Structure formats: C-alpha cells, structure tokens
Amino acid sequence: MSDVVKRRPRILVDAIDPSLLSGRRVGIEKESLRVDRAGYISQRPHPEALGSALTHPNITTDFSEALLEFVTPAYRGVREVSRSLRHLHRFTCPLIGDEVLWAASMPCMVTGDRSIPIAHYGGSNVGTMKHVYRRGLSHRYGRVMQTISGVHFNFSLPRPFWAAYREMEGRSAERLGAFASDRYFALVRNFHRHGWIVPLLFGSSPAICRSFLGNTPHTFSELGRGTLYEPFATSLRMSDIGYKNESQRRLGISYDSPAAYVRTLHAATEAAHPPYEEIGVVAGGEYRQLNANLLQIENEYYSFVRPKQIARSGEKPTVALQRRGVRYVEIRALDVDPFSPIGIEEDTMRFMEAFLIHCVLDASPPISRSEQDEIEENQRLVAVRGRDPALRIRRAGQDVAIFDRAREIVDAVAEIAGVLDAGSRTRRYAAAVESCRAALDDPRRLPSARVLDELRARSEAFFEFAMRKSGEHRASLLATPLPAGRRAALEAQATASLRVQREIEVADRISFAEYLEGYFARQPRLDGRPRP
C-alpha cells in the first residue's frame, strides 16, 4: 500500500471542519420477540393498542406476528435516539400483558416452524403482499431463522459535508447527489472489508438454546442444560447457523457503483430458481410466495449493510435509488445487546458513527472476487472464533492477527472521534472509542465474553440468562413512567395508524394478482442512467 493511500484518511480528517458533520443523522430499528412467561414465542396477535403494524411509523412487526420492531426517527444526536427508543419500549411493555420482550438476538424456546406465527398486515393488497412475502421466506428458509433479532443502525451525512468533500476530491463539476451516492457506496465496500470489527466489539450471541437447532446435527460444545456455544464466538447470529442464506452466496451483487448494484440486484429478482419453482407460487388458490425467482423482492437479499433511499408507496427500492440516490446506509450487523434495556448503548452508537465516517474517508477500490472470498471468510471466522487470541484473518492476501488489525482500525476511528468531539466540545466519542480499545486489550470485557462469564458464574442455561435479563429490563423500563405527553402522542399515533390501515383497505379497487403485476412492472433502468 502506497504512503499516499495510507495518509489519505489522516489528510481528509485534518481538512474536515467539525461543523460540517453537525447535521449527520442516526436512527435505530430494533427487533424484539414477544415471549410468554415460560419463554415460548407468543401466539397472540399484535396488540391492537400498539396500532397497525402496517401503517404505524415507529412500532411494527418483522417476520413474525410476535417479532416487534421499534423504529426511531432519524435524529442528530444519539441521546435523542436512545430517548426515543426507550419511550417506545416503555409504551409497549404495559400493553403486552404478562409477556416480556426477549433480551437476546437468538430465540428461545422454539418448538419448530409451527410455533412461529407469520405476521399479518390486514386485508389490503399492500398488507397481503407483506404477508405473502413472509410466507415465501418461511417456505424457502424455514421460520426458525426468521426469529433471530438484531439492531439496524441507520446513518446519513449532511449536504454541507458532501459539498466540502466533493471539493476536497476535486470533483466540483459532479452533481452533488451523484457524488454522495458514489461515496456512500465507498462506505458500503469498506464496511464489507472492515465490518467484522462490529461483531468482534459488540457481538453478544456466543451461545444458543438447543431448541433453536431442533434435530440439526452440530459441532457446538455444550454448556450446561440445553445450551450450545463456541468458546471464542462473538456472534452466532452472524454465523452459518444465523441469519444467512446459502442460495445467495454467489449472487454476485456488485457494490462497485450505484448502477452496478441496481443492475445485479435487479437480475437476482428476475432469475428463476428451480428449488423455488418446486414450491410453487399459488397452490389451492393460496399464494405460497410472491414469485419463484431467486429473490422475491430486493429486500430478500441478506446483506450486513444496505444503501437505502426512502421508497414511496408502490415504489421498488432500486427505482427509488435511481430516482433520488442514496439517502442513508442501514447497518445490519449489530446483535441485540442483552445488557441494555433497549438493546443498544449510546457508546455503541457513537463508535458506529465514527467508524462509518472512517469508512467514507478511507480508500475504497472495487472488491475483486478474491477479496470477496476473503471478506466472507473473515466474517465467518470472527463470528465463531473472534475472541481466539490465535486467530488470524486475511488482509490483501496476507494473514494478520485479528487483535492487531482491530487495534489499527480503532486507532483510525479514534481520529474521527476527535473531530466529532471537537464539534460537540465533549469527549464522549473519544471515551466510546477508548472503551473499545480497552476491550481489545482485555477481551473479557467484550459482550460475548461477558455473556459466557455470566452463564458459568450463575450456572445458568442460555434460556435462564435471557429470561432473567428480559424480566430485569421490563422492571427497569416500567420503573420510570413514560412522560404523559409522550404517552398521549403514542396513543394518538396508534389510533391514527389503525384508521389509515382501514382507509387503505377500503381504497383498494383491484385484485391482489393485478396489484402484484403492477408492482413488478415498475422496473429500474439498466442503461446506467438515472430515472427521471
């Protein structure tokens, strides 16, 4: 690597005015299973008091009727994000009766696919499409995998930053939206390269309930009653038993440019897949899946990071990207933190902000096939062996000690943290990064190690650990009343969402088959030019 490339991030960091970053935004999407007092996945429908899962902007469901998803607005500070997420939890806890929000990413207790109810979204065409899509996922991958929970970190940078960065890069003649989209894709490529550090630092799923695997053969070690684990694992959620999809490994989705991404992702939604054709699309008058293609829709592609644009009603994500460029990135590599009542700590968000800015500024050439193989192997190794002091990962064809490479990344992120602190006149970002460095120096501080330490110290099964944490978090959240004004606003929002759902259902004038035909007819342009 040339000295110029090595100096690039430092040169750019020195050139950034901290005020240019003041308009950056962060949002969180946090998933939580509703479980009964015995620890089994709830069989109850989504509580009406929470509003419509179809139209509520902040409280919805993911794959299962029992899998809640809390969505914060995008804020300019992590404290506001944390407060919003906490309010959503406090509002929800009293409304789910004697159920609790499961405190871990990996579920328990699981008694096979039939124990997992698929989410419903009412009788409208758009609601039916969401349900049928999930029905297709269940046929393709099984329902158990879909109960794994995570935290999605949404992040964007402001226009003044992109304008200044464009000048630094000598690309002032380029349209700002196109430049920003291009650099967001640089971030995405670098997150693929370096994102293994996220499960290393924040992964908290080193153990699972034996029921999760059913009768599937495994090589895990046993840790007491019904608990399986890997001694040095960081995030089994991110491993081959977690949220993975074997049929997608060789899709060849390209992140070289926005146009290449749209082209390759669109191709995957058009490619017929014989195993899915065997499932059938409609059987006995009932839809089993949206289609028999390799991907039913673009969101089926399981990636740890997604470039995103807010899609309008009926608009495909790739079309939205072409029309309006990348608006933000969605990071999907974070486990639910079982030590936090809301699943993520503020310092984790602060590190993520600084890390993603580093990914923007660092050199980011296209990813070759050989580098892609390295990336996939690094991700696999860190998920199952990340805390192993002897582990070596690949970097540009060379083996490097994982903790040495992790410290290099954290040192680079610390430079960004200094800029962010200069803008806020605090040391919160520096402190968050220093905490990560301390955990690398003493891996017993890593969340994955702390989970195993508690299991051993208390002689607990994974189920007992997660159930105890779930109860503690519920008590903690309920101990502080939700401000009356916020409660009233959320109640009004829930009522309004139910009304909007009914209005959508009444407004439907075409059959579901016609609706699908119209949706899939909206195709992105594949000539590399943006859509009007």
Q: What is the pLDDT of residue 312?
A: 87
Pair of tokens at residue 338: 């079982």
Mean pLDDT of 362-382: 95
Q: What is the pLDDT of residue 9?
A: 58
> In which element (H, E) is residue 56 found?
none
Q: Which tens digit of pLDDT belongs to each residue from 300-355?
A: 999 999 999 998 888 899 999 999 999 999 999 999 999 999 999 999 999 999 99
**Quick one: DSSP state of residue 293?**
B
Q: What is the pLDDT of residue 305?
A: 96
Asked if the model's pLDDT at residue 243 lies above 80, the reply is: no
Any residues with CB less than 8 A from the CB of 5 and at least 6 apart, and which?
Answer: 363
Q: What is the pLDDT of residue 247?
A: 60
Mean pLDDT of 128-142: 97
Tally of CB atoms within 10 A around 348: 23
Q: What percent of the chain has pLDDT over 70?
A: 95
Asked if the model's pLDDT at residue 532 lies above 60, the reply is: no
234 class by beta-carbon count within 10 Å (0-12 exposed, 13-18 middle, 19+ buried): buried
> In which element (H, E) is residue 185 found?
helix 176-194
> How many helices (H) and strands (E) would you count in the chain?
17, 14
Q: What is the pLDDT of residue 403?
A: 98
CA 155 – CA 87 distance, rounded (Å)? 21
Pair of tokens at residue 137: 């996922």
Asked if the model's pLDDT at residue 451 lies above 50, the reply is: yes
Q: What is the pLDDT of residue 1?
A: 37
Residue 10 confidence class, pLDDT cut points 50, 70, 90: low
Any residues with CB less than 8 A from the CB of 413 and at least 6 apart, and which?
Answer: 351, 354, 355, 358, 433, 436
Helix axes 125-141, 512-521, angle to 10 degrees: 80
Report helix, strand or coil for 248. Answer: helix
Q: What is the pLDDT of residue 58?
A: 98
Asked if the model's pLDDT at residue 531 lies above 90, the reply is: no
Length of the chain: 532
**Which residues on neighbouring strands pair with residue 393, listed in sequence order?**
400
Pair of tokens at residue 140: 């393709």
Pair of tokens at residue 60: 């919805």
Class of domain 23-402+443-521: alpha beta
Q: Which tens digit of pLDDT belongs to each residue from 298-315?
A: 999 999 999 999 988 888
Asked if the model's pLDDT at residue 5 lies above 50, the reply is: no
Q: Which tens digit of pLDDT belongs to each residue from 147-189?
A: 999 999 999 999 999 999 999 899 999 999 999 999 999 999 9
Phi-psi region of 46 (alpha: psi -120 to 50; beta: other; left: phi over 0): beta
Residue 216 confidence class, pLDDT cut points 50, 70, 90: confident
Report helix, strand or coil for 493. Answer: helix
